[in-house]
Each structure stands twice: as structure tokens, then as C-alpha cells.
A and B are shown apart, each in its own frame.
Chain A
Amino acid sequence: MRVALFVPCYVDQLRPTVGLATLALLEAVGCEVAYPEEQTCCGQPFATAGEPRRAAALGRRFVEVFEAFDAIVAPSGSCVATLRHGLPRWSPDPRAHAVAARTRELCELLGDPATRPLPRGRYPHRVGIHASCHALRELRLGSPSESREPPRPDPARRLLSGLEGLELVEPARRDECCGFGGVFAIEQEAVSARMGLDRLTDHQRAGAEVIVSTDVSCLLQLEGVARRHGHPQRFLHVAEVLAAACGLDGDAGRTS
């Protein structure tokens, strides 16, 4: 399978190890990976900040950069959600619809039968999964706690559960928001941080050593709150955990 790798701007700049781990995982499951260097941003920060036309301009640019590829994959539930729901709204161009439909979150793709399974991995840690709101409620990767719809598979959880030695611990509130929310984290800094602290405390009570998410933005928020309050947990993207567990990349699995 030929895939294009989209590494969201904040991952590119602040957590490049997630990009490296994603690349290693994609290659390990037999994907031929292209990384178009002219990529920048999917438009999400502008959409959530109330600038849909600026978001749309970036969305159109995204289509230009990625339309040549059969599949586009990103280690981010929220960027993929923005693209999947935003691109068709922002542009009447049928190419935008097609690109939106071909854009997938990393764990979605790793579970695809068209890819090889990952090698067996080992990760002997107590792990709490932080469900990203956009992966869960916008992409429906898993079943939101509010919903009574038939259960849906949660690919990140499935991949992590398959790791030898990994013990999943469950916070009392299964899928409450971490409080990031893009511009919300800045404009509503006090409430945002309190949400992060509550999320963290819930995971801590459950006994998590490592908190894992499909989204780096949630992790930056939780890690930022944890460091400020002196909490010891580690915060890793699911790609970093999988790559480290499967021995795929020397750089993955580190926090800095």
C-alpha cells in the first residue's frame, strides 16, 4: 500500500519522535511511505478559532499536496477529523471529498486488512488510554460513553491490548476531555488547566504509569499540567509506544 504521511504542524515542531515512530510503524506493516515536504497545516487551529475561510484555504492547499496518494495517514485523531469533516464542507471540489475519504488516523490504518500485522511487541507498563474527543466522537474510533449505539472498534485500544506485558488501567471517567481544545486552552486557560488536572488525577488514581493517546495535543496539555504539579507519569503517543514495544525505532518512546 502506498501512503502519504501527514505529520501535523505541532507534531512536526514539538514532538518529532511521533512522526518518526509513525513512519517506522507504517514501513513495518508494508506501506510504501511518501512524505510530501511542502505540507504544513490541515487548518484545524483556524477552524476552531472561528476563521473558517482561513481554514478552508489551508484545506484546499492540503488537497493539492495530497491528492496524488491512495491513502493519507496522520498520527492525529483531531487533524484527521478536521480533514474528513472539514474538506467536503470547505470546498465543492470533488477532489476534496475524495481526499477527505482517503485520510485516516494512524491506528485505523494499522488495523486495515490491506496492511501486514505489526510484529509482536512487549511493553511491561501500566498504561492508561486517554481517549481523544475527536478520535472518539468525530471519527467514532470507539464508542463514546454517552452513546447507546452498537459498540464500535477502538483500533488504538486493540493495538495496545495486543502488547505483551502491558496492563491497561481504566480511569473512572472513561472519555472526559483533557481540556486542550486549541484556542480554548489559551482563552480559557484556568478551566482548561483544571480539566487537565482532573483528567490526570483520574488516571493517577487508576494507577497509570504511562498515559497514551492518539493525539499529541491532548498529551501536551496533560504533560504540561503534570509537570507543573510535579506528577511523575510519562505521556506517550500510541505510535511511540507501539514502535518502542516492537523495537522499530531507536528514537521512539522517548519523551524528549
Chain B
Amino acid sequence: MADRGMATGGRGLTEGDVADTAPDWTDAGAARGRTSHASRARRFVADAARTTWHDASLWGVRAKRDAAAAQVPDWETLREDAASTKRDALARLPELWRRFEERASAAGAQVHWARDAREHNEIVARLLRDRHVSRVVKSKSMLTEECGLNPFLEARGIEVVDTDLGERIVQLRHEPPSHIVMPAIHLRRQEVGALFAREMGSAPGLEDPDALTAVARRDLRGRFLAAEAGITGVNFAVAESGAIVVVTNEGNADLGTALPPLHIACVGLEKIVPETRDLAPLLRLLARSATGQAITTYTSHFRGPRPLPGSELHVVVVDNGRSRLLARPDFEEALACIRCGACLNTCPVYRRSGGHSYATTVPGPIGSVLAPARDPGAHADLPRACSLCGSCSEVCPVKVPLHRQLLAWRGVLADEGHVPRHRRAALAFLSALMLRPTTYHVLARVARSLARRLPAPILDRLAAPWTRTRALPPIPAQSFREQMRARRRRREQEHRP
């Protein structure tokens, strides 16, 4: 109990200080108009060696996914099945969640409903406070990242330890995850070694991943034992049984919920499936799409609290903007996402700009679809941080048409006034020109003729930002149309008597 007092007393923050902790803490500064994805990406790319390594690491994961998909004879059918399961579930969320609550309650769990991040955080904090909990272990949960749960609890004197290795690394570095499945993928093992030497007293210069894992495991073991509650995310909630399913590779969700008496599971509104049998295609796709594994090491089903005296299971169901997406037919399919991260791994932009360049909890293609629904002003540039190559839509295990949604967002955000006016004016001028062929061709000829005469340095300046990184092509004297017209005139003359 003395320890608890210390943990509570140390910080001197009142609830008001952080009550409005941005659900998405990286919004602070970054996405509020001060920098753009493009500028953050430019900084990332400027370190060419790191970019090469980051791209290669993630491409390696994509390659494992390809190999795993090739092992399944009916991969595309499996995707169809999973996609229709998730779409069916999204079409009847109220009914499924009612059934879930009924079944989960019958099994002894308590279900709570949170409209937004704040309500979610308050529910969790209340559950912990009422039970005098000051030490919590938490397994990986992008939802609690999204809600800013850690700072919220820490400000109330509750110590939260992330127990997923990658999450623990970024927690100790006081930075957000850069990937939804591999939170510390942006770090090299040397950087992890230095961090552990500083934070856990491991031998300086230790770089071997297995040795580093062992160091973290030793450090975490005591924290698991001391924890009074375990918080987990949820991969799937099953309406039929009232069970929640949590998958991990490290077993940390299991250890974190097996030791303390209180288990709080935080689940997004979109995570429900109708029946237990629906899990089969989803689980087969999830691990293969995420890491190329046939199945995650641990797939744990929790149905009610453990049959031990004092055990409790609380499920906090969170909306936090999800129902807003549901009301937009162009984007609602994004709620089918099972957070495998395959679209991040395959995205040529993500691989070369890093997760932090997105300044959202969920980066990459899916993040760029989700973020503008929550805060269009802060994230209007994300749907444009995409070359529309379409690879994301091809790998998505639940067939979210990601690149089409990114394209659709561009139009919506422009209409809502989130694209600079000068840019829209330039496009208005160009499209007007394209509707007037004669004017267009005269102006194009003048422009080409100028471009051929101007000294290269001046032309390069006029053609920036293209020329910042690329040469201009040689400018032809005649367009194709001009050559065709000349040819036609020659023929007409030849045929004249």
C-alpha cells in the first residue's frame, strides 16, 4: 500500500490538466497546420540509409505475407468470406452488440459503453480507482493509444506498463508506436540496446535481439507480478457467445490477465462478429496478412471472468467517431479493418516516410482513411500522401478499397474547404483550359517554345518542385497534334488538282 501512495503522490497534476488529452496525442503541434505529412516525410527520407533499411524491413514482412498467402489454396475466397462477414456485422451493429452484452453479462462480465475517448478513459479510471488500483499492465491496444489512456491514467497516479515488447520500447522512449503491429519498427536494435542500458541497466552495447528480449522479459516479470489489473485490447468480440478474442505473439495479454483479479478489455465498436465460426477465416487471414505466420502464437478467448473469487471482467465498448464513418457510404467499409497492418507494410509511401510522419495513432493507408473522419482539418493532407498505386487494396484481407477511399477523401476534403485556395484555383484554370482546345493548344505551344529557349537554371526554378529531385524531359518542338495537323495539310495539298 505504501507503494501505491508514492505512485499517486508524485506528479502534482490535477485531472483538469489532462482531461482533454488529445485522443490522438500526436495531433499536438504536428498536424495542427504547422507541419505537413510531406515535410515530415522529407525529413525521414533525408536519412537515406535509414530509409533504405526501414523500407527493406517492411518489404520483408510484405514478402512473408505473400509467401503465407500462397500457402492457402483459396486465399481470394477466404478474403471474400471475411469481407462479407465483416460487412454483414457492420450492417447490424446494434443487434449484435445487444446480443453480446446479454451473453457476456450472463457469463459474468460487465459491459460498459463509451461514446468517445474521454468517456472511455473515465470508465477505465473509475474501475481502477474504485478498486484502489495503482499498477496496471496493458497488452497491445491501438484503441487505448487512440484514446490517450496512458497519460490519462498516469495523471491520476496510476502506473501503466505496456507489456508488448515493441509497445514497451516506445513507451520508454515517450513516443507513439510507428506501426500498428510492430510498434517499434522504426528503431534499430542498437537504439533499443542503448535504451535498455539506460532504462533497465543492461550491458551497454548489447544488440542481440534475443538477449534484448530477455532483458525486457526480466524487467517485465516483476511488473506483471505487482500488477493489480490487466488491460487488453480486443481483436474480435463474438455476439453469439459474449466472448472476446485477443491475439498476441508474446503471451503478454494472457499473463497480464491471469495474474491480477481485474481484467479490463477495451474494444472498438467495429470489432464484433456474429458467430464463433466467423472467427476461422478472420484468424487465418489476420496472422498471415500481418506477419506471414499461419497463426498467432496465442489466440485467447475470454468469456466472463475467471472462476476465482474476486475476479472481474469488464468490457468497454468505444465509439469515438466510428459511427460517424458508418454514416458515410464512401468510407464505412474502412470499419471492416482488422488492424493487420498489411496495407502499411506494402505501402511504398509508408515504407519511405515512417509511421510518425502520419501524426495519427493508425498510420499508413488505413490510418489516412480513418483520420480525416475524426479531424478533417488536422489530417486533410493524409489522403494525398499516396500515389494511388492500389497495392493496399490488393493486400487488405477484408477487401477495404483503401486507395479508392483515399481518392474519394480528396474530393470531400476539398469541398469542405481543407485544400488551399490557390491550389484549387490553379486546377480550375487548367480544367477550363482543357475544355477549350484551341486556347489550350496555343498556350501549350507558347509554353513549350519558351521552355526550349529559357536557360536551364531558370526553367528548373519555374518547374520546382519537380526539378528539386528530377530532371525535366527534353521539350519537343512540335506536339503530336501539331505533327498530325501538318501531315493532314500536306495530304490535302497533295490531293489538290
Give the interface of A toward B (CB within 8 A): 7, 9, 11-20, 35, 37-41, 45-52, 54-55, 57-58, 61, 133-134, 137-138, 144-149, 173, 176-177, 179-196, 198, 220-221, 223-225, 227-228, 255-256
Contacts and interface: CB of A to CB of B under 8 A. Distances in A.
Interface string B350-370: 001100000000000000000
B25 interface: no
B485 interface: yes
A11 B75 CA distance: 39
15 contacts: A12-B480, A12-B481, A16-B478, A58-B431, A147-B76, A177-B391, A181-B386, A189-B38, A189-B465, A190-B41, A190-B45, A192-B469, A193-B469, A224-B472, A256-B474
Contacts of A185: 387, 466
B226 interface: no
A225 B386 contact: no
Contacts of B424: 51
B308 interface: no
Interface of B: 37-38, 41-42, 45-46, 48, 51, 55, 59, 66, 69-70, 72, 75-76, 346, 348-349, 352-353, 381, 383-391, 393-395, 407, 410-411, 413-414, 419, 423-424, 427-428, 430-431, 434-435, 437, 440, 444, 448, 465-466, 468-476, 478-485
Given A54-B428, A181-B387, A146 B479 contact: no
Contact of B435 (A14, A57, A134, A220): A57
A122 to B, nearest CB: 26
B440 A137 contact: no
Q: Which 5 A-B pairs have the closest CB atoms?
A: A181-B387, A50-B410, A224-B470, A193-B469, A19-B480
B434 A47 contact: no
B368 to A, nearest CB: 12
Contact of B440 (A40, A50, A52, A182): A40
Given A146-B395, A149-B76, A195 B38 contact: no
B428 to A, nearest CB: 7
A176 B348 contact: yes
A14 B391 contact: no
A146 B478 contact: no
A198 B52 CA distance: 9
Given A38-B437, A225-B470, A256-B476, A192 B430 contact: no
Dominant SS among interface residues on chain A: helix
B427 A46 contact: yes
Nearest to B413: A50
Contact of A188 (B38, B393, B475): B38
A185 B385 CA distance: 10
A190 B469 contact: yes
Contacts of A193: 468-470
Nearest to B403: A137
B394 A146 contact: yes
B391 A148 contact: no
Contacts of B386: 181, 184
Contacts of B479: 12-13, 16
Contact of A137 (B394, B475, B481): B394
B469 A50 contact: no
Contacts of B485: 37
Given A45-B430, A58-B435, A148-B75, A195 B468 contact: no
Contacts of B427: 45-46, 49, 51, 54
Most chain B CB atoms below 10 A, which of A37, A190, A192, A221? A190
